[in-house]
Structure 1
């Protein structure tokens, strides 16, 4: 009978409660919205078969910076929530709470490490992520990079993006490539048009659209159950506010993102099911601030894609090989996906209930180092020049025209709409809010 007792102990529990300890979970959940490590979700250029009979003549890409430290606002909330550490330890000593002994011990050994001293700065792991990205890029397109007529890299005017571009270029240079770097532009209509868009500040950032939908979701039975479960694990009689739970979530995912193999003891407060719930909160935020939740986001994404269209047109006209890259932020990647009509869900993302099989998942769309890459190929067949365009999201091939690649006319049909993109509408409001 003893073996039956062991089996009962090991069986999962219901209602989202933990079925095992975090410390010995062999396959912990790795998807943390926009704080997801790139290694957890990326593909690999090198594994994608080449397009037969074709050679790259223009590569255009836009990339998010690598793993960074939390912002001042996030760091302050995380530090406040970290005060729960002593309460968790004391509860465990007094026989209260539902956390495993080793998870409590790991939390006891955890230290704050003064994250507020380096707000939003790229971590060492973030630099390595970009260096490896550059190395894979170089290996995939070595012949193309050795025979360029033009190469340009530009980042936004932030330390984390500038350092990210340096990591990427170092990865290229490890294989001998030479790339020219442009100085950041304060009002960059390609890499960060939303940064100086006054109208967005008034109608999107200063609005309550995203926060209202998040609060709506946090009132659902699903989120309320999460609140109750975490409170019982802590062993506290005080009701945990949603903002405290989200700060604990940040303690989990920021420390987890510093290394693809590292763990954060704060993650022990959540089951995998509950991490999916918290991931959805992040998706709601991005959907309404940067994505389909507001029509302005599509217009701002079109501003970046205008540059892509014009540069491919120039290459077809001149025959010159060109390599153009921008280092930006998750906001811009979200806007580009929206302008292209990618990852749209019906029913749409909302706070009414969690859409489990949704396409709009920030963990896969805008992890650290998220990137959108377009490659123009020139193909020679029976002495006739033809062009094919291939697209990647996070080094995975995406089929924007339905087939594996776009023909030139299919590309123009899809992208010519961006040729007249304008952000003149941004000056229609007097409210200015930077993010």
Structure 2
């Protein structure tokens, strides 16, 4: 039984035991700048980054668009199955933190974060009405992202994105993962009408297109032990004094009950993941983000980018050719009699590696564990470049000129003139794939 004795204290009665427990009366001011940094640097949602979209970039003087070839990452999703037991562990962390501060007058949280932390539970499917209670499915926010991108492209190219499906007009495929199937249905449901895309058989499993839509997965399955160098830069970064200082400060400030450094580091990484997920799902100032300062977010996101740079970025030479199947398919679709609209729904490794194969967004120097301080303006920022619903589009115009777009922004390649490329130059400049 609970009896309140003041605005901030209450008596908890268990049997004959009486305990006075007090709620904190002093909270820190919510740091809005922190959430600006989360959205700008670390959030995975498509609309977190302010994009400079110029619709005039989608036009070529004196020529109509003839074909569009698109490569699209699925929209914001709920958790993968393997992530659930890891992040469910934060429920006990939240209880432990609240317990350790329950009789303190002041806490290192805003009132909003404190109230959320007291009752926090992991939302496995995020929105059961949308995700049918399943894991690893597109969320409501993911559907909104995809529908907005679809609406934008239909508005720019209405003669290509017609409102009725025909296999002669549309070549649509998705990876074997359910979230990519659902992304295709949502995207083209916006084009054709609600539920109109659900009957389209776009699976690539067992077809010649499996190595195009799932090129990275096919590559990984073929790699023999020792053929690919280990991804060592992130572990090195996490052992640097500055990184360790950040981890130890967070553990101490929030009274996290972990002892050895590796366990501390993994817990901080899990908290960061939960912060990023909840901001992508809800945009509601996740309580988990309040464990960090703005500089912490930047350092943790650099760790994410560091891993991605070597796994599916410019970090190793082998990555230059992994996505050659998509380069060849793109060029072939423009040179031959392919459908006017080609759209493949895939994953972050494939979209990232397609950019690498195109030599788009190159870094002047490699990201390493030791040059974090010099890389604040790096091009390879995965939260901006390949967030959920990231979309690449190649557009062929009537005068055999091509423009490339990433997340609806014009891609500038060194061999093109102000973003306008000649179709005849594609094979020469993507020579590693031909």
Instruction: Give the TM-score taking structure 1 as reference length.
Output: 0.80
Q: For 1:84 and 1:226, locate their aligned partners in 2 and report how far apart those are by CA, in whole Å.
A: 18
Aligned to 1:411: 426
Matched, 1:171 2:190: yes
Q: Provide closer, same or farther for how the CA distance between residues 101 and 19 of structure 1 changes in structure 2, counting only shifts above 3 A.
A: closer
Deviation at 1:306, TM superposition (A): 0.7
Q: For 2:424 and 2:245, locate their aligned partners in 1 and report how far apart those are by CA, in whole Å.
A: 52
3-state SS, counterpart of residue 67 of structure 2: strand
Matched, 1:209 2:230: yes
Matched, 1:366 2:386: yes
Aligned to 1:5: none
Aligned to 1:249: 272
Q: For 2:33 and 2:303, locate their aligned partners in 1 and report how far apart those are by CA, in whole Å.
A: 27
Choose the corresponding residue for 1:298, options 320, 340, 364.
320
3-state SS, counterpart of residue 400 of structure 2: strand
Aligned to 1:183: 202
Choose the corresponding residue for 1:357, options 352, 377, 402.
377
Aligned to 2:13: none
Q: For 1:115 and 1:241, locate their aligned partners in 2 and report how far apart those are by CA, in whole Å.
A: 27
Q: For 2:35 and 2:275, locate their aligned partners in 1 and report how far apart those are by CA, in whole Å.
A: 17
Q: For 2:386 and 2:124, locate their aligned partners in 1 and report how far apart those are by CA, in whole Å.
A: 26
Equivalent pair of 1:377/1:387 in contact (CA under 8 Å): yes
Q: For 2:249 and 2:29, locate their aligned partners in 1 and report how far apart those are by CA, in whole Å.
A: 14
Q: Provide closer, same or farther for how the CA distance between residues 70 and 43 of structure 1 changes in structure 2, counting only shifts above 3 A.
A: farther
Q: For 1:274 and 1:51, locate their aligned partners in 2 and report how far apart those are by CA, in whole Å.
A: 44
Aligned to 1:230: 250
Q: For 1:191 and 1:181, locate their aligned partners in 2 and report how far apart those are by CA, in whole Å.
A: 16
1:248-287 pair list within 5 angstroms: 248-259=271-282, 261-287=283-309
Choose the corresponding residue for 2:108, options 98, 112, 118.
98
Q: Provide closer, same or farther for how the CA distance between residues 118 and 263 of structure 1 changes in structure 2, counting only shifts above 3 A.
A: farther
Deviation at 1:167, TM superposition (A): 0.6
Residue-by-residue CA offset, 1:83-139 (whole Å, 9 max, x unaligned): 211222123224386333442222113222345973322212212221221111111
Q: For 1:19 and 1:51, locate their aligned partners in 2 and report how far apart those are by CA, in whole Å.
A: 53
Q: For 1:127 and 1:183, locate their aligned partners in 2 and report how far apart those are by CA, in whole Å.
A: 18
Aligned to 2:80: 71
Matched, 1:126 2:142: yes
Deviation at 1:77, TM superposition (A): 1.5
Choose the corresponding residue for 2:408, options 385, 388, 395.
395
Aligned to 1:14: none
Q: For 1:267 and 1:221, locate their aligned partners in 2 and report how far apart those are by CA, in whole Å.
A: 22
3-state SS, counterpart of residue 269 of structure 2: helix
Matched, 1:325 2:325: no
Residue-by-residue CA offset, 1:370-398 (whole Å, 9 max, x unaligned): 111000001xxxxxxx3211110011111
Q: Provide closer, same or farther for how the CA distance between residues 257 and 178 of structure 1 changes in structure 2, counting only shifts above 3 A.
A: closer
Equivalent pair of 2:170/2:341 in contact (CA under 8 Å): yes
Equivalent pair of 2:68/2:395 in contact (CA under 8 Å): yes
3-state SS, counterpart of residue 376 of structure 1: strand
Q: Provide closer, same or farther for how the CA distance between residues 114 and 37 of structure 1 changes in structure 2, counting only shifts above 3 A.
A: closer
Equivalent pair of 1:152/1:180 in contact (CA under 8 Å): no
Bigger relative CO (Cα 8 Å, ≥ 6 apart) = 1
Aligned to 2:68: 59
Aligned to 1:427: none
Equivalent pair of 2:323/2:350 in contact (CA under 8 Å): yes
Q: For 1:179 and 1:392, locate their aligned partners in 2 and report how far apart those are by CA, in whole Å.
A: 27
Deviation at 1:364, TM superposition (A): 1.3
Aligned to 2:352: 334
Q: For 2:101 and 2:395, locate their aligned partners in 1 and report how far apart those are by CA, in whole Å.
A: 56
3-state SS, counterpart of residue 170 of structure 2: strand
Farther-moved stretch of structure 1 (119-128 vs 389-398): 119-128
Equivalent pair of 1:32/1:253 in contact (CA under 8 Å): no
Aligned to 2:46: 38
Residue-by-residue CA offset, 1:170-214 (whole Å, 9 max, x unaligned): 111249x9999443122511111222333336457xx7722x321
Q: For 1:359 and 1:312, locate their aligned partners in 2 and report how far apart those are by CA, in whole Å.
A: 29
Instruction: Give the TM-score taking structure 2 as reference length.
Output: 0.80
